[in-house]
Structure 1
Amino acid sequence: MDNSFGYAIGTAGIKWGATEKAAWLAQTTIKRSYLEQVVSHIHALSDNFDIEQYGALSYSPEKYPLFAIKTRDWDNTKPTVLITGGIHGYETSGVHGALAFLSQKAQQYSRDFNILVVPCVSPWGYETINRWNPNAVDPNRSFYANSPAEESAALMKLVQAQQIHFLAHLDLHETTDSDESEFRPALAARDGKEYIADVVPDGFYGVGDTENPQHDFQKAIIDSVRHVTHIAPADSDGNIIGEPITQEGVINYPLKALGLCASVTDALYTSTTEVYPDSPRVTDQECNMAQVAAIIGALEYLKNNH
């Protein structure tokens, strides 16, 4: 294998095959416990919420059950909101921010909304602190028919089973320094492409839908989060992660075309949050609370404007 192109696995310009994917999987290790750090917190919510196991990952079903949490006073006349975290398992505040919202704020907002929360879509990724699943597939690029990621397929099946229209979907993510030190170089190597370095934005930003941007909704989220953490500035070209900003701290992606999780419900209002946990200006708790603030900003906007 030729490692001169900047990643330790593969050969420059050649897509990975089974050998390279196996080599990548072999160097992953378990670094934390999904059952101890996530599932135990989910079960602790059972007095106030309905908890549903909607599947389990085939890699190890006993280690990786998949859970959804629903508000109790469910009423199909109320608008319904989906909150997801841990699509990328290494993005920690997405998982723990969702759990914090459940324990601190969800019951308050259940008077106005049905709320369905899936705090950790990719538990193997959570344990290995990884963006991909064991097959070197990114679940957050796999929300389409016949998905190659069972994490994504299970969530799509759960959403469809609700047989209800979702008004909004908040998908909780992080952008980390490891995006540039590990995950984007690995992606380029896997796909046989050249890795072009980018700048990791210092601060929170949100991602709307190119086809349905909902500028005021995105602004409400940013304005709520700025009370907890700083908002990412644009780079010298007016971009964040290579995309032009549409307003302070907001960029847009074509959700459906990219197979992103935020497209899973066809909701009118969607936002992908991006917390920056590697900033010296924030703590882990502040990152979690930034995710909570993003959800609150979205829900308050919907209460007042929809």
Structure 2
Amino acid sequence: MSSAHFYPIGTPGQPWGDVERAAWRARQQRQRSYHDDVVAALERLGDRIEIVQYGQLDYPPDHYPLFAAISSDWDPALPSALITGGVHGYETSGVHGALLFLEQKAADYAGRINLLVAPCVSPWGYERIQRWNPDAQDTNRAFRPGETAEEAGALMRWIAARGDTLLVHVDLHETTDSDANEFDPALAARDGRLLVPETIPDGFYVIGNSENPEPAFQRALIAAVEKITHIAQADADGNLVGMPLQSPGVVWGASRSIGACAGFTDARFATTTEVYPDSPLTTPAQCNDAQVAAVCAALDFALAHR
């Protein structure tokens, strides 16, 4: 690996230890407020939906209560859906798309499906516009037994304790230019391996769970979102982020086995959305709207085909 492609922390070919992780953590600076952007937004919902605290992250001197919104008219006879955002804190429209859904669309599903919405799973990462948690762990690889990332652990314990039978799980993400110029180089350095450059798709796409892909469900999300923003095209090899294109804007990924959030439940209809916010063809508002459209399409399809 040439020095031009190596991350400025660590030694090429050697995985990070505690010293390198501490050096990486010291570089991270707060750039926005979880309380102002997320907690206050939930509080403004008033009595339209129930807000619960499902956990807390303690990263002294910072402490982050973890909140979720639940249908205030919860009916055990109805199917249930989990919407998650901010598993990667830097993926802004995942957080704000979940909040926008709560504000604008959640009421449309009252009496039809129970909703659980965790809009910002990784608030430390949200504030620092960072993919990892303070221990340089990727939360979206930690939704499986034996992992120690508390962002994932708190959500999994809460969902397990509730015991709901989930019909739908939509996990809201972004693929950004910073994946190529910051986060992929950091990952290669952290793990002591060579950096393999990856092409960032320009547009929206979804990653279905290869263990249970539900192709028609995935296509329904693309059909809804393409009315708002453009859909990612395959690269010269017919892939999106290294995965073969299954249909326009749709790829399969092994969500459960890699510890991705979209794979930790037994929801029949599950997906990971991916918006490209750095495109000159879209805006932050369109990215948020695309996430909302994807959630609504997921709920509508599931209700029609359960």
- TM-score normalised over the length of structure 2: 0.97
Give the distance between the partners of 1:305 and 1:268, measured in 2 at CA: 11
Partner residue in 1 for 2:99: 99
* Distance of 2:15 and 2:62 partners within structure 1: 33
- Which residue number in structure 2 is paired with residue 74 of structure 1? 74
Aligned partners of 2:5 and 2:185 also within 8 Å: no
**AA at the equivalent of 2:32:** R
Deviations 1:50-69 (A, max 9, x none): 11011110114864110010
Equivalent positions of 1:1-306 (< 5 A) are: 3=3, 5-60=5-60, 63-306=63-306
Measured on the aligned residues, the alpha-carbon RMSD in Å equals 1.3
1:182-231 residue CA offsets vs partner (Å, 9 max, x unmatched): 00110011001100111110000000011111000000000000011000
Unaligned runs of 5+ in 1: none
Matches of 1:5 and 1:295, distance apart in 2: 37
Q: Residue 5 and residue 276 in structure 1: after superposition, are their counterparts in 2 closer, same or farther (change >3 A)?
A: closer
1:16-49 Cα distance to aligned partner (Å, 9 max, x none)? 0111111100111000011111110011113111
Q: Is the 8 Å Cα contact of residues 54 and 67 (structure 2) preserved in structure 1? A: yes
Structure 1 residues 146 and 259: alpha-carbon distance in aligned structure 2, compared to 1, 3 A threshold: same
| Identity among equivalent pairs (%) | 52
Are the counterparts in 2 of residues 5 and 12 from structure 1 also a CA contact under 8 Å?
no
Deviation at 1:305, TM superposition (A): 1.6
SS at match of 1:295: helix
Residues 80 and 165 of structure 1 are in contact (CA less than 8 Å); yes or no, is this contact kept in structure 2? yes
Moved more, 139-148 or 85-94: 139-148
Alpha-carbon deviation of 1:303?
2.1
> What are the superposed Cα offsets for residues 56-85 of structure 1, whole Å, 9 maximum, x if unpaired?
101148641100100111111110000000
Distance change (3 Å), C-alpha of 1:204 and 1:4: closer
Q: 1:37 to 1:31 in 2, by over 3 A?
A: same
Deviations 1:121-161 (A, max 9, x none): 00000000000000000010001123210000000011112
Structure 2: how far apart are the matches of 1:63 and 1:129?
Answer: 17
Segment drifting more, 90-99 vs 138-147: 138-147
